[in-house]
Structure 1
Amino acid sequence: MSDGRHVTGAAALAFGEREYTLAELEALASGMATALEQRGVRAGDRVAMMSSNRPEFVAALRGIWHLGAAAVLISPAWKRTEVEHALTLTCPSHAVGDHPVLAELMPMLHLDEPVAPGRREFDAVAPDADALFVFSSGTTGMPKAVRHTHGAFAVAVRHWRDALELSSADRMQIMTPPSHILGLLNIVMALETGTWIRLHPRFDIDTMLHHIESDRITVEMAVAPIALALAAHPKLETYDLSSLRYIMWCATPVTESVAADVTRRTGVNWVAAYGTTELPVIAANPVTGARLDTVGRPVPGVRVRIVSLEDGTPLDADEVGEIQVRADSVMAGYLPREATASAFADGWYRTGDVGRLDPDGWLRITDRSKEMIKVRGFQVAPAEVEAVLHGHPAVEDCAVFGEPHPTDGETVVAAVTTNAAAVTADELIDLVAERLASYKRPSRVVFVPAIPRLPSGKVLRRVLKEEHGRTSDS
């Protein structure tokens, strides 16, 4: 679990009032391995995990890996139908966790059950053995299972550590679910680097700010909902955030107005990075001198190319097309297996994201190709319209989607949540019209109580379309 850069006996992980050393975590992992082995887990098996962030999750994951088995990570936010789909897709033989839905569907070793710590030696696991099954975001249809081997995931961990310039002197806290690739990557990376981490069972903005101050956190992770909560916090300036080296914006494109507001109020700068569930670390900004209009440059060991959306031919610098990637950290494939072939083109992983590389290697993401809105033949990136709407002081959150139009093909619709300030739909439409081309102007604005998002922060546009969209007939 460690590469030797930690201080023996030093605290490695905190949860509530309790701290654990690496030796204590490893003893728990050995105990979990024994408990799972007694239940029949063997090398090559798949073990479903549905859990909150907690030390026992870390120990169980490590125990599964010790036995040469693979972890199937299921979101604790999922409902029974989604969990049933995940289990049918991956066919795990055993389960461990703390969630009643998983316990209802198959026999589960509950993380609240006492497990005796142990001291064992385990055989090394082959790099090409399965380590993880994590689930794609599922913005359309049911999620696919993404398969990662031990070797590929170890490469992703190294890429992430190098991008963050992380060392054993750093201190982090983790509020993103461990079932998401970002939360998992952070946990494994921190423990292997000797970085002290605090786990939280759920996100709470005041808890996060309190612990930045009390734990002297040096690197903070922020997906979009966390960034928005920081910007909206009325007492942000009262917290001492001076220990932070930077805040990392992950999982979605940076909303520069939100990031700038937090920096103005706290003095803490942001860094942006880019990855996917299938290839966890693709590009990152430098820790000093970050440019938030880009996701940075491809990290060493990762190759990026831009290809035509029409015919897949490679494009020159500054031309917009699909982002494709090659790296040793790429997934081994999907379940269902037949979905794997379409995810690759000549050995390059097709991200489905649209962007461009400038001549100096800076990567800019325009949007998801499948979420692009086509108005009168022009492609509209929802993220571009959202960035303008976020700049209005009354807008707390927003998301843009397309709906059918009898002559224009599609029109732009904006779903908006507001704060106490008053704003009309016409004001927001005019704001976009002032900043962007006419075809990007929303045809209408719907005011909603909340924007539906995945735990990673990604907008569920499909849900917005179902609840607030109109057909071409209506």
Structure 2
Amino acid sequence: MTDTVDSLLREHAVRHSDKPAIIDPDGRISYRDLDRGTRALAASFVEAGIGKGSRVGLIMANGVEWARIAVALLRIGAVLVPLSTLLSPRELTAQLRTASVQHLIAVEQFRGRRYLDTLQIAGLPALRSIRTPAQVDVLTADPDAVSIVDSQSRGVRPSDPLVVMFTSGSSGPPKGVRHSHRSAIGAVRAGLAARCIDADTRLYLPMPLFWVGGFGGGLLSTLVAGATLVTEPVPEPVSTLRLLEAERVTLFRGWPDQAAALARHLDEVGADLTALRPGSLEALLPAQLQSPPGARARLLGMTESFGPYCGFPADTDLPVAAWGSCGRPFDGMQVRIVDVETGDPVPAGTVGVIQIRGPHVLRGLCGRSREDVFTPDGYYPTGDLGRLDDAGFLFFQGRSDDMFKVSGATVYPSEVAQALCSLDGVTAAFVTNVPGPSGDRVGAAVVCGRATTAEALRTAATAVLSSFKVPTIWRVLDSDDEVPRGATGKVDVIGLRGMLADT
């Protein structure tokens, strides 16, 4: 079993030598050239003092060069620390400190942000070197060093650390999540079939490579499957649609609203997306290949599980009784539901906090002891709410810090949003609590495909929701582009709450 990045690349350099591994708008690289190029670059890194165990931060936009640098580092056992191009100077300094980054490779600027000019080096005692990608390109090594690197690469073990990946920080500051080669590659491998990724896949994700959705769901998924990854530095509807057409992309994964945003531009661009196959996000598929709302699983995962840990084949309808679920836990993943207050396991059908355990779960968090991170019996409390049915299907109910009470009864925003999406004409719904003089109220921003009113929606909602769950504050939107979002593309709950409070 190939459980290191080096062994994966060696295998595919033989099996798929001429196949493109990575494609971006300005270039492409085959598996053979990725193998040769990263061996030479790895030798240069070793000559520059970067080796097994070195923690290396990387700030770059998506593209072939990001992948080439990352893979070269991982082949020699360096620990990759992907860093967001969206970080402020203060956030960047904090993450470099948290991960004890020793070497930083960063573009000088991207989309108006200048990283090196504002870096607070005085607060980074572990930092030894800073290079731009251009400076990396001119690193050299003795020709004999490549054979030495081959020996070093084969000395990297599956249990060795692979990456420190920061969470998006949707609640509280981002955490530095540690994964090994085995835990990350195993997590990716366990979900490949559910995500419909194989060696024939030409995969596009709009997610940045510095988050687990792009790094694990994109780059590592490609390397595990021997597939082709198509990526771009700045996704924009028109350029993305043209890239999908030009490269005959077969699989579009990501968040559903990302596909919906592209679908709104299809007629304008006139892109031929007939190469897309089932398993892609359905907004980009022809009507005859789409399923009823809720029939397909929405994979559930997080940085701590290195992506999805629960799912169902993306090209197959769930059993009717499991509609609306996230599917079943993948092989190797144990999932249990515990009481929010006591931490005791609860019976099937009961909502509680989701805890996960298994070989694909994080190895730990930077600066935290194992006792602080895991339960005594080794489970990781995700902070997500859910319930398991008798058949083992997991239903996501939102975050434990998002649930709220109305007149003493618990409301789960995701449950309300899912019910609202079942109403005729509703294409998306975003739900949160809105504080009022007498306590929290249920608020909903709803995107509708036809003209309607808040009163009509309220009346329709009474047929699918208990009375205390029916929103009392409504905002009818023409597009989900109007919903406030954070840098990751996730809904900004505070901004949503403010929008509804002003209604």
Rounded to whole Å, the distance in 2 between the matches of 1:233 and 1:342 is 44
Rounded to whole Å, the distance in 1 between the matches of 2:435 and 2:362 is 35
- The aligned residue for residue 414 of structure 1 is 444
- The aligned residue for residue 441 of structure 1 is 470
Q: Secondary structure at the match of 1:295?
A: coil
- The aligned residue for residue 116 of structure 2 is 103
Aligned-residue offset at 1:127: 2.7
- The aligned residue for residue 298 of structure 1 is 329
Q: How does 1:27-42 map to 2 (within 5 A)?
A: 27-42=36-51
Greater alpha carbon shift after TM alignment, 150-159 vs 333-342: 333-342
Aligned-residue offset at 1:429: 4.1
* 2:72 maps to 1:63: yes
Q: Secondary structure at the match of 2:401?
A: helix
Within the candidate set 175, 179, 192, 1:161 is matched to 192
Rounded to whole Å, the distance in 1 between the matches of 2:445 and 2:108 is 33
> Could you list the per-position Cα deviations for residues 320-373 of structure 1 after superposition, in whole angstroms to 9, with x for gaps in the alignment?
222221110110111231596255462111122212222222211121111112
Q: Secondary structure at the match of 1:328?
A: coil
- The aligned residue for residue 255 of structure 1 is none
Within the candidate set 406, 414, 418, 1:375 is matched to 406
Aligned-residue offset at 1:190: 0.7
Which consecutive unaligned segments of at least 5 residues does structure 2 have?
A: 1-7, 122-128
Partner amino acid, structure 1, of 2:62: N
| Contact kept? 2:444, 2:471, Cα under 8 Å | yes
**Equivalences, count:** 458
Closer, same or farther: CA 378–345 of 1 in aligned 2, 3 Å = farther
Rounded to whole Å, the distance in 1 between the matches of 2:400 and 2:134 is 43
Q: Secondary structure at the match of 1:272?
A: coil
Q: Secondary structure at the match of 1:241?
A: coil
| Contact kept? 1:354, 1:365, Cα under 8 Å | yes
Aligned-residue offset at 1:199: 1.6
Rounded to whole Å, the distance in 1 between the matches of 2:140 and 2:22 is 17
- The aligned residue for residue 432 of structure 1 is 461
Tell me the TM-score normalized by structure 2. 0.81
- The aligned residue for residue 168 of structure 2 is 137
Identity %: 27
Closer, same or farther: CA 77–184 of 1 in aligned 2, 3 Å = same
Q: Secondary structure at the match of 2:229?
A: strand
> Could you list the per-position Cα deviations for residues 388-441 of structure 1 after superposition, in whole angstroms to 9, with x for gaps in the alignment?
55567887765322233454x42222345778x665544444443453222123
Greater alpha carbon shift after TM alignment, 198-207 vs 266-275: 266-275
> Could you list the per-position Cα deviations for residues 253-312 of structure 1 after superposition, in whole angstroms to 9, with x for gaps in the alignment?
xxxxxx5x6656362566532211101231111244332511111111111122222322
- The aligned residue for residue 357 of structure 2 is 326
Q: How does 1:27-426 map to 2 (within 5 A)?
A: 27-98=36-107, 100=109, 101-104=114-117, 105=119, 108-113=130-135, 114-115=137-138, 119=146, 120-123=149-152, 124-185=155-216, 186-233=218-265, 235=267, 239-248=271-280, 265=287, 267-268=289-290, 272-279=298-305, 280-291=307-318, 293-337=324-368, 341-344=372-375, 346-390=377-421, 398-407=429-438, 409-415=439-445, 424-426=453-455
Q: Secondary structure at the match of 2:115?
A: helix
Greater alpha carbon shift after TM alignment, 239-248 vs 296-305: 239-248
Q: Secondary structure at the match of 2:304?
A: coil
Aligned-residue offset at 1:177: 0.3
Rounded to whole Å, the distance in 2 between the matches of 1:236 and 1:310 is 52
Partner amino acid, structure 2, of 1:15: D
Q: Secondary structure at the match of 1:131?
A: strand
Alignment root-mean-square deviation, CA: 3.2
Partner amino acid, structure 2, of 1:173: Y
Greater alpha carbon shift after TM alignment, 429-438 vs 62-71: 429-438
| Contact kept? 1:139, 1:461, Cα under 8 Å | no
- The aligned residue for residue 459 of structure 1 is 491
Q: Secondary structure at the match of 2:391?
A: coil
Which consecutive unaligned segments of at least 5 residues does structure 1 have?
A: 250-258
Closer, same or farther: CA 360–145 of 1 in aligned 2, 3 Å = same
Q: Secondary structure at the match of 2:239?
A: helix
Closer, same or farther: CA 432–112 of 1 in aligned 2, 3 Å = farther
Partner amino acid, structure 1, of 2:133: L
